[in-house]
Structure 1
Amino acid sequence: MTTSASGGPAGFRRALVRDPRRLVAILLWSVLEAAPAFLVGHAVARAIEDGFARARPLTGLAWLAALGLAWLVSAVGARQVVLAVAAVAEPFRDDLLTRVVEGALRRPLAERPDSAATARAGLQVELARDAFAAVVTTVRGFAFTLVSVVLGLLTLAPGTLVLVLPPFAAGLAFFLASLPALARRQRAFLLADEELARSMTATAAGLRDIEACGLAEREDARLARRVGAQRDAARALARVTAVRTAALAVGGWLPVVLLLAGTPWLLDGGAGPGVIVGALAYVTQSLAPALGGLVQGLGVSGVRLVATLRRIAAAAPPPPPSPPAIRPSGADLTLRSVTFSYGPHSAPVLDRLDLTVPEGDHLAVVGPSGAGKSTLAALLSGILRPGEGEALIGGVPADRADPAARVLIPQEAYVFRGTLRDNLAYLVPEATGLDAAVAALGAAGLVESLGGYDAVLDPAALSAGQRQLLALVRAHLTPAPLLILDEATCHLDPAAEALAENALAARHGTLIVVAHRLTSALRARRVLLMDGPRITIGTHDELIRVSPLYADLAGHWQPEPVS
């Protein structure tokens, strides 16, 4: 676990230093938050020795008021620390969620987790985010408190360090040594809990069959074993967790006993009663609570974080590195014996399909609903890979072709929140000729109504047709030699569709149009008719003569008048 997505050491460092300003903010606010940890001993000692012991109550109260003011400042610092840590934890959560989603999407369909497993993975990501924030907050607070207490004791009564630091270090070391065992027990508990949940879900779904087949006793025994395994894992975790109490006793409260036992020695060394009470305040009000927070934070949140990250890593292993993209030598398309289905037991959508589309061709793809037109578009663009055979763009496997070599526009066009200029030119950031592309696609009126290129778009406020028109302008701007429109004009009126298709066909390169209207087939140079696994290709007039299906489609799919 060394990647940022898995949350290992490299992932922690990446999350913390991704934005150095946030890390600096955490450190600076932590100084304010730790102010009472440094001041508490001095304030109590001075309030006693310079104030109340000398019958100067106002002086004593002034020192205590200063300590109270330090607590107010600390509260402000603590609030800002929480906000700063949250700003670090959210990108960490996003990395984990990206890992889970990418791992699920890269798996074959047959191996993808069910919805319950996906929900558990999402819950684990949220738990990891919360645990990460708790660990960062706890460890940071402990470190600043420890430094403050050591500086406070060093400046108040250096001799007390001999009584305080050795047992404190022993308790801390004892706790840290127990963390690996805690992590193992926590992981075992999580596994047992998940297995019990999985078994209960399966049993609940099959209660009717279990009762009908007389398997109730066997199923009851199986669930009892799962419950017993979870109980045993919980008990083992509780036994190891008890180590935390012992570590806190040694590191947090043994120093108090040693300070009290060493009081005569400290008095002989010149320390006054106020100094001894101040040293006790350092231990009881700052050091012991800080150690308790660390024990609780690492012993619960830290162990949970490690166990959860391991579960996420096991459920979503890092995807294999993608092979480098290859720039095709042209925009011709070739399918050789391509077979594709959406599952190992599903009928093939395409079966041993051969197809050649020369560079510069304008091909319309037609056929009844469910014939596989969108599947063909996805194979030609490289989004899907053939189960058998190969799909090539310019002699290069479509899924390995340089993304800049083709553009696929689906039926639901993608528009993001941002300026109109950014939406139109994001495939080619340095694009010029926006006005020419907008005019060619007949989108000048839309641009004007939206407020110009620098207007900020709200995708939800755009109609489906407006989003499609913007996507078509975006495609026209790119130098990609292959454009694939998968019913990308279905929300446009016939006149706008004709203008858009003619403008895109006039570009250099190859145009594939999954037709929504017959007029798209009439404008194309060739027409590909899909009828299940079979295809027929030719001009419109040729298909009318040789294909009864196409003739029937043409009879029912009347071209709409274009004004």
Structure 2
Amino acid sequence: MKRELSYGIAALKNRSALKLAIWSIPEILPTAIYGVAVAKATDSFLAGHAWQGIAWLGGLVATACLGAAGAHQVYGRLGEIVEPLRDDLVRRVVSSALHTGDTAAVARLNRQVEIVRDTFAGLVLVVRSFAVTLVGVLAGLLSLAPAIAGFVVPPFLLGFLASLAVLGLAADRVRASLQADEDLAAAAGMTFSGVRDITATGSEEFAEHLTGRPIEAQADAERALARVAALRTLCFAIGGWAPLLILLAAGPWLVGRGVSTGTLLGGLTYVLVGLQPALSTVMGALGDSGLRYVVTLGRILSVQSPEATPRTAAPLTCEVQTTGLTFAYGPAAEPVIEDLHLIVPEGEHLAVVGPSGIGKSTLAGLICGMLQPTGGQVLIGGVPTHTVAPDTRVLIPQEAYVFGATVMENLNYLLPDATPSEVQQAIDAVGSGALVDRIGGLQAQVKPNDLSAGERQLIALTRAYLSPAALVVLDEATCYLDPEAERRAEEAFATRGGTLIVIAHRITSALRARKILVMDGNRAALGTHTSLLHSSPLYQELQGHWHPTETLPSQPAPGFQIQPAS
């Protein structure tokens, strides 16, 4: 908790926080005076001095206007404090996801960052308001009648302290809720990413079971949070309603000792308008928002930054090797990939073909470290794939990502220090020059929604070509391009250097590769176009009646190895 509090305090060490504190001072006056004004106005009306009572009420309205002006300025300063904190957390989450492959990053970015931002803002307002109210009410009660303060303050503090005692239990419940949320996001994300493979292997029932358990766990966690909320309600009854009942019960005794009716009513006003709302707000903030802030921020900060994440050195080669590679979407599901032994030497060009939903994208995800094997391992240059430095490889999926920035910023995102000539060479090689010109040049602003799927693929392909990655995986990354544009892009990557793995969308992609991996259920066959036409019925079926007119590429150097499943 110390780390989370220190982070919040650091966010308050700026000019905006000081301005917020200064603008809170005008609110103390109306808080301190409203009980006194009600008491004086009541006594004046009872004594027949109507105009004197109206004057007291008018003074209360005037001070309330002063407090409202201060509150208006407070909300303006709040945004200047909170938004930089949110921006810093977003940078932390995105950077961590890019460098560690954090599967819970979506939950952190979409929900948990917003929880921290909102709860931090709420805590700032609550602490400020509670301090203002407490100072103002105590000053008003002591100036009005110290005896009333003796009846009101002790039960108020008792309820507040009781709510603090519940925080430990509540913290456990919040942690359980956040863990359940992350587990659900991870299970759902894995299931959605493997929809085609799940359909192909008939694992729908298991997929439903896989996501059903975390859904139930999240529901149980939320019910536990509701029970903690009931305990907080009891604490509020002690601190918020008990002072009112005690003061009402002691009313005759106080009146008998010279306390006027107006003074008693003023004390009740301090309880109902000041202390009771303040206690409700601070309990809600500490018992709900405060806990969510501490627990959620703790989970975000616990993810190591890129500088602190242990990394292996960049692999000496970009040879891809799988040993006994097996992957299934759950312990009871049929494996999508089973006991695959494959070596793709550095500098080679491999095409992966097979029916839709057979596991080609799953293999791409395993090679790039986005999925963890159920059995066996994947190595890049002898290094486990999930520990390989991120700039060693690049994956372009079917749905290419383009962001709202300049064309140059989209293209050099993976190589920020690329020279203009290097960028232009990548554009010329991939064949995206006409698109760049149509958008308006390298400094023109990209509007992703105005681009077709094929145009987004061209930008992403150029970005990947320009990157320093020695291993490129194209997962149907040219499926929205016409055959000629696809040919040009794939040939550019084939002559770029490094290792190229293409998840083929068209059979022509297989002809351009030096080796072809045919995936057939949980089996696989590796060979050349000619050899597979004789040995693989599935490849013959995929080939169909298509007859290439171009010359087949020369045979590759030896080095590819594959062993059938045992």
**Offset at residue 522 of structure 1 (A):** 1.7
2:131 corresponds to 1:143: yes
**Offset at residue 343 of structure 1 (A):** 1.3
Q: CA RMSD in A?
A: 5.2
SS of the aligned residue for 2:428 comes to helix
**Aligned equivalents of 1:174 and 1:43: distance in 2?**
28
Unmatched 5+ residue regions in structure 1? 3-8, 108-117, 192-228, 265-272
What CA deviation, in whole Å up to 9, does each residue of 1:189-237 have, x standing for no partner?
999xxxxxxxxxxxxxxxxxxxxxxxxxxxxxxxxxxxxx999999877
SS of the aligned residue for 1:365 comes to strand
Distance 1:18 1:508, change over 3 A: farther
Amino acid at match of 1:244: G
Match of 1:524 in 2: 513
2:148–2:247 contact (8 Å) kept in structure 1: no
2:116–2:297 contact (8 Å) kept in structure 1: no
Distance 1:146 1:549, change over 3 A: closer
**Aligned equivalents of 2:23 and 2:354: distance in 1?**
65
**Aligned equivalents of 1:82 and 1:168: distance in 2?**
31
Q: Which segment drifts farther, 255-264 or 382-391?
A: 255-264
Select which of 406, 409, 414 maps to 2:393: 406
Distance 1:280 1:561, change over 3 A: farther
Distance 1:480 1:161, change over 3 A: farther
SS of the aligned residue for 2:500 comes to strand
**Offset at residue 333 of structure 1 (A):** 0.6
Select which of 66, 77, 84 maps to 1:73: 66
**Aligned equivalents of 1:435 and 1:175: distance in 2?**
69
Q: Identity over aligned residues, as a percent?
A: 38
What CA deviation, in whole Å up to 9, does each residue of 1:61-116 have, x standing for no partner?
5x8766534322322433454565578778779979x89xx9xx858xxxxxxxxx
Distance 1:189 1:241, change over 3 A: farther
Q: How does 1:153-552 map to 2 (within 5 A)?
A: 169-180=153-164, 240-245=235-240, 248-249=243-244, 289-305=273-289, 324-326=310-312, 327-432=314-419, 433-552=422-541
SS of the aligned residue for 1:389 comes to strand
Amino acid at match of 1:141: S
**Aligned equivalents of 2:247 and 2:232: distance in 1?**
23
**Aligned equivalents of 1:455 and 1:171: distance in 2?**
66
**Offset at residue 342 of structure 1 (A):** 1.1
**Aligned equivalents of 2:479 and 2:173: distance in 1?**
53
**Offset at residue 352 of structure 1 (A):** 0.9
Match of 1:110 in 2: none
TM-score by length of 2: 0.68
1:15–1:89 contact (8 Å) kept in structure 2: no
Amino acid at match of 2:490: E
TM-score by length of 1: 0.69
Q: Which segment drifts farther, 299-308 or 335-344?
A: 299-308
Amino acid at match of 1:448: D
Amino acid at match of 1:408: L
Match of 2:215 in 1: none
**Aligned equivalents of 1:561 and 1:363: distance in 2?**
18
Amino acid at match of 1:354: H
2:141–2:148 contact (8 Å) kept in structure 1: no
**Aligned equivalents of 1:324 and 1:503: distance in 2?**
34
What CA deviation, in whole Å up to 9, does each residue of 1:270-320 have, x standing for no partner?
xxx9xx98x989866667633212221234453344677899899999779
**Offset at residue 490 of structure 1 (A):** 0.4
**Aligned equivalents of 2:87 and 2:463: distance in 1?**
33
**Aligned equivalents of 1:185 and 1:426: distance in 2?**
46
2:116–2:296 contact (8 Å) kept in structure 1: no
Q: How many residues align?
A: 482
**Offset at residue 348 of structure 1 (A):** 1.0
Amino acid at match of 2:132: F
**Offset at residue 141 of structure 1 (A):** 0.9
What CA deviation, in whole Å up to 9, does each residue of 1:414-459 have, x standing for no partner?
1122232222222222222222222222212211222233333232
Amino acid at match of 2:64: W
What CA deviation, in whole Å up to 9, does each residue of 1:355-389 have, x standing for no partner?
11111111111122233211111111111121111
**Offset at residue 323 of structure 1 (A):** 6.2
**Aligned equivalents of 2:245 and 2:506: distance in 1?**
81
SS of the aligned residue for 1:329 comes to coil
SS of the aligned residue for 1:371 comes to coil
1:489–1:516 contact (8 Å) kept in structure 2: yes
**Aligned equivalents of 1:290 and 1:353: distance in 2?**
70
Amino acid at match of 1:343: G
Amino acid at match of 2:417: E
2:163–2:235 contact (8 Å) kept in structure 1: no
2:20–2:78 contact (8 Å) kept in structure 1: yes
Amino acid at match of 1:325: R
Match of 1:31 in 2: 25
**Aligned equivalents of 1:523 and 1:230: distance in 2?**
58
**Offset at residue 509 of structure 1 (A):** 1.0
**Aligned equivalents of 2:536 and 2:368: distance in 1?**
27
SS of the aligned residue for 1:453 comes to coil
2:399–2:453 contact (8 Å) kept in structure 1: yes
Amino acid at match of 2:66: V
**Aligned equivalents of 1:530 and 1:231: distance in 2?**
50
Distance 1:404 1:344, change over 3 A: same
What CA deviation, in whole Å up to 9, does each residue of 1:235-276 have, x standing for no partner?
877655431245534998899999978879xxxxxxxx9xx9
**Aligned equivalents of 2:128 and 2:546: distance in 1?**
70
**Aligned equivalents of 1:77 and 1:134: distance in 2?**
17
Distance 1:256 1:31, change over 3 A: farther
**Aligned equivalents of 2:153 and 2:474: distance in 1?**
68
Match of 2:179 in 1: none
